[in-house]
Amino acid sequence: MTRKIYVLNGPNLNLLGQREPGIYGALTLADVEAACHKEGDALGFEIDFRQSNHEGVLVDWIHEAHSEAAGVAFNPGAYGHTSIALHDAIKAVIVPVVELHISNIHAREAFRHKSMISPAAKGMICGFGLDSYLLALRALKTLTE
């Protein structure tokens, strides 16, 4: 049976490829989505890929994943550094959530070193560019077996 995985993206990730190529490369969110579908096919996952700039929408999608998905790969963007609401939402659901970041948040500004959601997530992957998404999907494969 194909299992559904939500790949959720937070604020400003819709701008990927348009600005700051020094940090995020030339990659667009459409490139990330295409790569996730390809990896999902190989892993037997149906990928539901979404992006929102709104914290409450991301909270709602985590709640929805509880009944609709087998797992969540989550790039929370800057909300990862600030959001107790996202921490609580992840804690509230049984579905495994793997946090990911494109950049190495520990090699950047001090305010990015802290993740509010890491303690609630199953684990966190950062610093591998587009591969951070694919590694999160592989982690979810093991977590959902």
Measured from the Cβ of residue 113, the count of other Cβ atoms closer than 10 Å reads 11
- Select from 5, 7, 8, 13 the one that contacts ligand CA2 (CB under 6 A): 13
- Select from 40, 71, 77, 96 the one that contacts ligand CA2 (CB under 6 A): 77
Q: Is 102 in the site for ligand CA2 (CB under 6 A)?
A: yes
Angle, CA of 11, 79 and 23, to the nearest 5°:
60
Q: Is 103 in the site for ligand CA2 (CB under 6 A)?
A: yes
Beta-carbon contacts of residue 43 (< 8 Å; ≥ 6 apart)? 137, 138, 141
d(CA 28, CA 48): 17
Q: Is 112 in the site for ligand CA2 (CB under 6 A)?
A: yes
- Select from 75, 96, 99, 124 the one that contacts ligand CA2 (CB under 6 A): 75
Q: Is 53 in the site for ligand CA2 (CB under 6 A)?
A: no
